[in-house]
């Protein structure tokens, strides 16, 4: 699953790279490693919104009680979005998480080897769903080199290498075609660090 990302560009750099302004004066501090279990606020671009907004990682459905555990909604499996109560109402609330890269670990016996997966020096856009000021990263079955890296859970985020490649995800009227985007991340497009 995808629980660790890198966003080391400043607000200004993110605005320049995407040509999209931040929604407000929200404070954002870039970091080499954001851990989803710390529930950080990260840069998101929502459907129909021409601005970057900071939302908290870990989707909280509108019906959730105060003690709802958002550790269970850091990721959403594309295969079960319509079935899971936690994601059903957010099904059409599409967005992308703007990152430099994400981290996954390969397990070899008792050792864990960290891989950083990015697209050269460019931004990556991870498919996500949002509800109010929270979001969840959408994952799919691991493909190609990601099967090798994420050898235990065999998952990967649905990732796009440019804003134009996100258009169908963000603005598509029919939800079904986005499943094809899971094959967009071919091995030669992924850079391992």
3-state secondary structure 172-190: CCCCHHHHHHHHCCCHHHC
- Tell me the CATH number at 20: 3.90.1680.10
Q: Is residue 190 scored above 70 in pLDDT?
A: no
| Dihedral sign computed on CA atoms, order 90, 174, 153, 99 | negative
Whether residue 192 lies inside any domain: the answer is no
Q: What is the pLDDT of residue 168?
A: 81
Q: Which is more confident, 183 or 119?
A: 119
Q: What is the pLDDT of residue 172?
A: 61
pLDDT digits 0-9 by tens, 69-101: 999 999 999 889 888 999 988 988 999 999 999
Cβ neighbourhood burial of 111 (10 Å; 0-12, 13-18, 19+): exposed
Q: What is the pLDDT of residue 181?
A: 32
Whether residue 184 lies inside any domain: the answer is no
Q: What is the pLDDT of residue 191?
A: 53
Under the banding of pLDDT at 50, 70 and 90, the label for residue 177 is very low
Average confidence score pLDDT of the chain: 86
Asked whether 27 and 16 are in contact (CB, 8 A), the reply is no
Pairwise CA distance, residues 127 & 108, whole Å: 29
Containing structural domain, residue 14: 4-171
Q: What is the pLDDT of residue 59?
A: 97
Q: Give the closest residue to 42 by CA, choosing from 185, 62, 50, 34.
A: 34
Q: Is residue 183 scored above 50 in pLDDT?
A: no
**Count of the separate structural domains present in the chain:** 1
Q: Which is more confident, 183 or 161?
A: 161
Asked whether 144 and 150 are in contact (CB, 8 A), the reply is no
Whether residue 110 lies inside any domain: the answer is yes
pLDDT digits 0-9 by tens, 10-25: 999 999 999 999 987 7
Whether residue 190 lies inside any domain: the answer is no
Q: Which is more confident, 49 or 133?
A: 133
Whether residue 90 lies inside any domain: the answer is yes
Whether residue 188 lies inside any domain: the answer is no
Cβ neighbourhood burial of 186 (10 Å; 0-12, 13-18, 19+): exposed
Whether residue 35 lies inside any domain: the answer is yes
Under the banding of pLDDT at 50, 70 and 90, the label for residue 41 is very high
Q: Which is more confident, 183 or 48?
A: 48
Pairwise CA distance, residues 85 & 81, whole Å: 8
Whether residue 74 lies inside any domain: the answer is yes
Under the banding of pLDDT at 50, 70 and 90, the label for residue 165 is confident
Q: What is the CA radius of gyration of the chain?
A: 16
């Amino acid at each position: 699953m995808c629980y660790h990302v890198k966003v080391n560009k400043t607000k200004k750099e993110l605005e320049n790279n995407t040509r999209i302004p931040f929604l407000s004066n929200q404070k954002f501090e870039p970091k080499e490693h954001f851990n989803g279990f710390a529930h950080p606020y990260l840069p998101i671009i929502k459907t129909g919104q021409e601005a970057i907004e900071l939302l908290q990682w870990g989707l909280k459905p509108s019906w959730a009680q105060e003690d709802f555990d958002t550790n269970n909604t850091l990721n959403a499996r594309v295969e079960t979005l319509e079935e899971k109560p936690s994601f059903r109402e957010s099904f059409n609330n599409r967005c992308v998480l703007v990152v430099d890269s994400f981290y996954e670990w390969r397990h070899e016996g008792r050792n864990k080897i960290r891989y950083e997966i990015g697209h050269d020096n460019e931004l990556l856009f991870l498919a996500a769903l949002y509800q109010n000021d929270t979001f969840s990263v959408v994952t799919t079955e691991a493909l190609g080199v990601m099967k090798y890296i994420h050898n235990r859970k065999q998952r990967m985020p649905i990732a796009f290498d440019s804003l134009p490649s996100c258009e169908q995800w963000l603005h598509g009227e029919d939800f079904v075609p986005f499943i094809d985007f899971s094959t967009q991340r071919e091995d030669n497009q992924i850079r391992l660090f």
